[in-house]
Amino acid sequence: MKQTLNITMQRSLSATDFTNSPTLSRLSTRPLQLLLAALLLTLAFLASLAFGQLSIPLSRVITAFTHYDGSNTDHLIITTTRLARALTALTVGAALAVSGALMQALTRNPMASPSIFGVNAGALFAIVLTMTVFSISSLQNLIWVALIGAAVAGGMVYGLGSLGRDGLTPVKIVLAGAAISALFVSFTQGLLVVNQDGLDSILFWLGGSVSGRDLSLLQPLIPYGLAALVLSQLLSPHINVLLSGDEIAKSLGQRTGWLKLAMGVLIVLLAGSAVAIAGNIAFVGLIVPHMARAWVGADYRWLLPMCALLGAALLLLADLVARFLIMPQEIPIGVMTALLGTPFFIYLARRGLQNA
Amino acid sequence: MPKFYTVRHAALSLQLNLKTLSVLALLLPCVLACVLLALSAGSQWLSPLTVLNELVADGRYAFVLETLRLPRIVMAFMVGAALAVSGLMLQSLIRNPLASPDIIGITGGASAAAVFFLSFLAGSLSVYWLPVAAIIGALLTALIIYGLAWQGGVSPVRLVLIGIGLAAGMNAITTLMIVLSPIATSMTAYVWLTGSVYGTNWQDVSRLLPWLLVLLPWAMSLARSIDAQALGDATAINLGIALQRDRLLVLFISVGLAGAAVAFAGAVSFVGLIAPHIARLLVDRRFASLAPVSALIGGTLVVLADTLGRTVFLPLDMPAGVFVAAVGAPFFIYLLYRHQQ
**A292-311 residue pLDDT tens:** 988 888 889 999 999 999 99
Under 8 Å CB-to-CB from B165, ≥6 apart: which residues? A342, A345, A346, A349, B105
Amino acid symbol at A134: F
Helix, strand and coil percent figures for chain B, each rounded to 5 = 75, 5, 20
Kindly indicate the confidence band of residue B156, based on its pLDDT and cuts at 50, 70 and 90.
confident
Give the pLDDT confidence score for residue A2 in this predicted structure.
42
In chain B, residues with a C-beta closer than 8 Å to the C-beta of A338 are 168-169, 171-172
Give the pLDDT confidence score for residue B81 in this predicted structure.
95
**A250-270 residue pLDDT tens:** 888 888 888 988 998 899 889
**A140-173 residue pLDDT tens:** 777 888 889 988 998 888 888 777 666 677 777 7
Rounded CA separation A263/A99 (Å): 9
The mean pLDDT value of chain A amounts to: 81
Kindly indicate the confidence band of residue A93, based on its pLDDT and cuts at 50, 70 and 90.
very high
Q: Which of A2, A171, A282 sits opposite B168 (nearest CB)?
A: A282
Rounded CA separation B314/A110 (Å): 47
Q: Which of A114, A129, A275, A117 is nearest to A188 (CA)?
A: A129
B175, B188, B271, B327: which to substitute to probe chain A, counting the most A Cβ within 10 Å?
A: B175
Q: Which residue does chain A place closest to B313, by CA atoms?
A: A194
In this complex, is the C-beta atom of B194 within 8 Å of any C-beta atom belonging to chain A? yes
Interface of B with A in 79-108 (CB under 8 A): 96, 98-99, 102-103
Kindly indicate the confidence band of residue A355, based on its pLDDT and cuts at 50, 70 and 90.
very low
Has residue B128 got a pLDDT over 70?
yes
In this complex, is the C-beta atom of A129 within 8 Å of any C-beta atom belonging to chain B? no
Q: DSSP per residue over A135-194, as a string?
A: ----HHHHHHHHHHHHHHHHHHHHHHHH-STT-S-HHHHHHHHHHHHHHHHHHHHHHHHH
Hey, are the CB atoms on A186 and B164 less than 8 Å from each other?
A: no
Under 8 Å CB-to-CB from A228, ≥6 apart: which residues? A95, A98, A266, A269, A270
Kindly indicate the confidence band of residue A1, based on its pLDDT and cuts at 50, 70 and 90.
very low
Q: Which residue does chain A place closest to B178, by CA atoms?
A: A203
Q: Which of B157, B105, B154, B107 is nearest to B135 (CA)?
A: B107
Has residue B34 got a pLDDT over 60?
yes
Candidate ranges A1-15, A94-108, B4-18; pick with highest mean pLDDT: A94-108
Q: Which of A179, A335, A339 sits opposite B332 (nearest CB)?
A: A179
**B8-24 residue pLDDT tens:** 776 666 677 788 888 89
Kindly indicate the confidence band of residue A121, based on its pLDDT and cuts at 50, 70 and 90.
confident
In this complex, is the C-beta atom of B308 within 8 Å of any C-beta atom belonging to chain A? no
3-class SS of residue A332: coil
Give the pLDDT confidence score for residue B247 in this predicted structure.
86
Q: Which of A5, A336, A323, A293 is nearest to A174 (CA)?
A: A5
Residue A263, CA atoms < 13 Å, CB-side half-sphere: 28
Has residue A50 got a pLDDT over 60?
yes
Give the pLDDT confidence score for residue B339 in this predicted structure.
62
Helix extents (H) in B41-150: 48-56, 62, 70-94, 106-116, 130-149
Q: Cα angle at B61 between B58 and B62, to 5 degrees? A: 40
In this complex, is the C-beta atom of A329 within 8 Å of any C-beta atom belonging to chain B? yes
Rounded CA separation A333/A89 (Å): 10
Query: Residue A64 has what DSSP assignment?
Result: H
Q: What is the ipTM of this complex?
A: 0.75
Q: Which of A335, A347, A224 is nearest to A280 (CA)?
A: A335
Instruction: Determine the distance in angstroms separating the CA of B220 from the nearest CA of chain A, rounded to an integer.
Output: 27
Mean pLDDT lowest for which of A25-34, A89-98, A310-319? A25-34
Kindly indicate the confidence band of residue A102, based on its pLDDT and cuts at 50, 70 and 90.
very high
Burial class (CB in 10 A: 0-12, 13-18, 19+), A105: buried
Q: Which residue does chain A place closest to B96, by CA atoms?
A: A172
Has residue A13 got a pLDDT over 60?
no
Q: How much is the pTM? A: 0.79
Interface of B with A in 21-50 (CB under 8 A): none
In chain A, residues with a C-beta closer than 8 Å to the C-beta of B98 are 172, 175-176, 178-179
Hey, are the CB atoms on B193 and A171 less than 8 Å from each other?
A: no
Candidate ranges A48-52, B65-69, B203-207, B210-214; pick with highest mean pLDDT: B210-214
Q: Which of B149, B176, B269 sits opposite A182 (nearest CB)?
A: B269
Q: Which residue does chain B place closest to A341, by CA atoms?
A: B169
Interface of A with B in 153-182 (CB under 8 A): 156, 160, 163-164, 170-172, 174-176, 178-180, 182
- Distances in whole angstroms, Cα of residue B168 to Cα of each of A162, A196, B158: 23, 25, 16
In chain B, residues with a C-beta closer than 8 Å to the C-beta of A334 are 172, 175
Kindly indicate the confidence band of residue A225, based on its pLDDT and cuts at 50, 70 and 90.
confident
Kindly indicate the confidence band of residue A10, based on its pLDDT and cuts at 50, 70 and 90.
very low
Give the pLDDT confidence score for residue A190 in this predicted structure.
76
**B86-123 residue pLDDT tens:** 999 988 887 777 778 887 888 889 888 888 888 887 77
Has residue A16 got a pLDDT over 60?
no
Hey, are the CB atoms on B273 and A179 less than 8 Å from each other?
A: yes
Candidate ranges A278-282, A303-307, B62-66; pick with highest mean pLDDT: A303-307
Domains of chain B, each with CATH number or no CATH: 4-338 (1.10.3470.10)
Give the pLDDT confidence score for residue B323 in this predicted structure.
83
Sign of the CA dihedral with B118 first, then B122, B125, and B129 last: positive
pLDDT, average across residues A8-20: 45
> CB atoms < 10 A from the CB of B137, how many?
26
Give the pLDDT confidence score for residue B337 in this predicted structure.
67
Give the pLDDT confidence score for residue A235 in this predicted structure.
92
Query: Residue A254 has what DSSP assignment?
Result: -
Has residue B179 got a pLDDT over 90?
no
B179, B269, B271, B337: which to substitute to probe chain A, counting the most A Cβ within 10 Å?
A: B179
Q: Which residue does chain B place closest to A175, by CA atoms?
A: B98
